[in-house]
Structure formats: C-alpha cells, structure tokens
Structure 1
Amino acid sequence: MSESTPITVSDSAARRIATIVAKGGGDGDALRVSVEGGGCSGFSYKYDLTAAREPDDLVIEKDGATVLIDPMSLPYMEGAVIDFVDDLMGQSFQIRNPNAVASCGCGTSFSI
C-alpha cells in the first residue's frame, strides 16, 4: 500500500464501530474488514468483530474505534474509505473503493 492513498474510516463508521464494540458483550474490540474471492462481482467484503490481531495487520484507530485489515486485502482496498450509511434503504457499512470498476446492488461485492 502506498503512503499517498491510505485506507480511511469516516466519522460515522468510527462512531458505529465504537457503538457495536461497546454493546458486543465480549465478541471483540475491533472490526476486521477483509476481501474474499466470490460474491456477485468477483470479490466481496467481509466484516467480523474480533479481539485477535496479527502482527502484519494494518491497524486504523479513530475516535475510539479500531479497524483491522490483513495484508492480503490491502492491495484491493488501497485508497478506500470505510463508511457507515443510515438512510431510507437501511443501515450498512459501505466501502468507497477507487479500485473497484464494478459493484453489485448489495454493496458488498465488487470487481477490479
């Protein structure tokens, strides 16, 4: 990952992560975001609460929230913004990824 295009977490995502972790009842103290093969468009995002940190994870801390990203997912997410949206369509984490050339309606699947 280049220093000029870091992965960022929006204010709304940081607030939501902190709220989820506070109510989580011991499931974990960080949100792990990863990219996996599969999904409608070829790749999909996966979200997990975890307490496990790996030495080579990218750790993003903001306003009491911690996001972990594994090194295999980093190239696919370079320059992305992790956001939380609450609108008429519902609530969800969304990733605005400049590397994605297509995505599907579910918002969790993309292609490069």
Structure 2
Amino acid sequence: MESSVTDTQITQNGVVLTDVAVQKVRALLDAEGRNDLVLRIAVQPGGCSGLRYQLYFDDRELDGDVASDYDGVRVVTDKMSAPYLGGASIDFVDSIEKQGFTIDNPNAQGSCACGDSFH
C-alpha cells in the first residue's frame, strides 16, 4: 500500500515539518541573507516539565547529526535529541492569538501549561 504526504515532509528521524513551517524557515533564512545556516531542532534539559525544545539557526553541523533537506532548507537534529523527536510535527502558526512555531510531539508524556517544555 502506497501512501503520500501532501502537506508535510518527513525527515529520516521521523520529524515532520509542515509546508507552512518550511516556508517560514525559508523566509527567515532569506531575511538573514546567509546560505550557510541550517535549522537545528534539539531537546535540552530545562523548563518546568524537565525537557524543552530548541529551534535555532546554526552555522555548524555536529558529528552524528541527522540531516534532512526540505526543498533547499536544511534541518539538523543531534543524535541525542532524535529519539525524543521521532514522530513530532513542527508547524508555524500565525493568528491573532499566537504566532510562532508549534511542536506536537507524541513522545511527550506531559507538558507545561505554556507548552514550552515536556516530559
């Protein structure tokens, strides 16, 4: 049985970036005027629930990084964060109530009220 994904793209490590998120990352990179940056997605200790997400532009690639390309937008995840992010969906929301990247992570057993950290 063959499946197709029309509004998302799936990386090797199971992280899903929606097309809207890819477009926003591309626009931010264009605004920076640099073509040597990648979007790094990581999980770090901290936050009120134990672990927190980090999304930032990085000009380096680390040994063991899992890298993917989204129509010219390069996304990397370090090897320690990859297990926490498998199956996570990253989107960009721009509404009156909220603007920013959102992460829906099926691996999170719980999260804080603000949604910035999980356990």
Q: Please give the range of the TM-score, normalised by the shorter of the 2 chains.
A: 0.7 to 0.9
State the aligned residue count: 109
How far 1:7 sits from its partner (Å)? 1.3
Corresponding position of 2:9: none
Does residue 92 (structure 1) correspond to residue 93 (structure 2)? The answer is no
**TM-score (norm. length: structure 1):** 0.85
The answer as to whether partners of 1:33 and 1:46 remain within 8 angstroms in 2 is yes
Aligned to 2:88: 80
TM-score scaled by structure 2? 0.81
Letter in 1 for 2:71: D
- The equivalent residue for 2:53 is 45
| 1:56 pairs with one of 57, 64, 75 | 64
> Counterpart of 1:6 in structure 2: which amino acid?
G
Large movers: runs of 4+ above 3 Å: 25-28
Give the counterpart letter for 1:67 in structure 2: V
Over aligned residues, Cα RMSD in angstroms? 2.2
Alpha-carbon distance between aligned partners in 1 of 2:51 and 2:111, rounded to the nearest angstrom: 9
Q: Find the counterpart in structure 1 of residue 22 from structure 2.
A: 14
> CA deviation digits over 1:3-53, x for unaligned, max 9?
x97111111110011011111144952110100001011100012111211
Please list every run of 5 or more consecutive structure 1 residues that lacks an aligned counterpart in the other structure: none
Give 1:101's aligned amino acid.
Answer: Q
Say which SS state the counterpart of residue 108 (structure 2) adopts: coil
Number of the residue aligned with 1:66: 74
Find the residue that maps to 2:64 and give its secondary structure: coil
Larger radius of gyration: 2
Which segments of 5 or more consecutive residues in structure 2 lack a partner in the other structure?
1-11
CA distance in 2, matches of 1:23, 1:15: 12
Q: Distance in 2 between matches of 1:19 and 1:54?
A: 24
